[in-house]
Amino acid sequence: MRTLLHLVTIAALALVTLSTSACGQTAKSVTVEEAKAMIDKNAKIVVLDVRTPGEWNGGHLKNAKHADIQSSDFEQKITAIDKNATVVVYCAVGGRSSRAASMMVQKGYKNVINMAGGINAWNAAGYPTTK
C-alpha cells in the first residue's frame, strides 16, 4: 500500500513538472525543507492548503489560506490570490496539490510551487502547524 502511495505521488509530481500554460509557465515541486526555508525567508509567499475542511481543522501551516480543491467553489476562492505572487500549495501527500498547482498555472498564475510530500512530510520533519 505504501509503495502504491509513493508511485501515485511520483506520478502526480511528474504531471506537475510537465504541465505548462500557454505562456510557458510551469508549476514546480520542492521538498518540505525547501518550502519551509522559502516560507520562513519571505513573508509575502502565499501558502495554500487545498485539503478538505476536516483535514484543515486537524492542523495546517501557519498563515495558510484554505481552498478545498474538491469543492465546487475552489476556482472562485483562488481568484483572491494575486497571479504574480509566489504560491506554495500543499495537501496531505502531494496529489491534490499538484493538481491544484497545474490548474493555477493554466489559469495564469506565474509562480506556483507544489510542496512534495504535503503536510504528512511536513509533520514527519517535525515542523510546526496550527489549528
Per-residue pLDDT at 17: 43
Amino acid at 1: M
Q: Quote the pTM value.
A: 0.81
pLDDT, averaged per 10 consecutive residues of the chain (131 residues), comes to 45 43 66 97 96 97 97 95 97 96 95 97 97 92
39: which 3 cell numbers? 516560507
Domain borders along the chain are: 2-124
Question: E-assigned strands of 1-131?
Answer: 28-30, 46-49, 65-66, 86-90, 111-115
Per-residue pLDDT at 114: 97
For strands 111-115 and 86-90, give the pairing: parallel
Superfamily (CATH) of domain 2-124? Rhodanese-like domain (3.40.250.10)
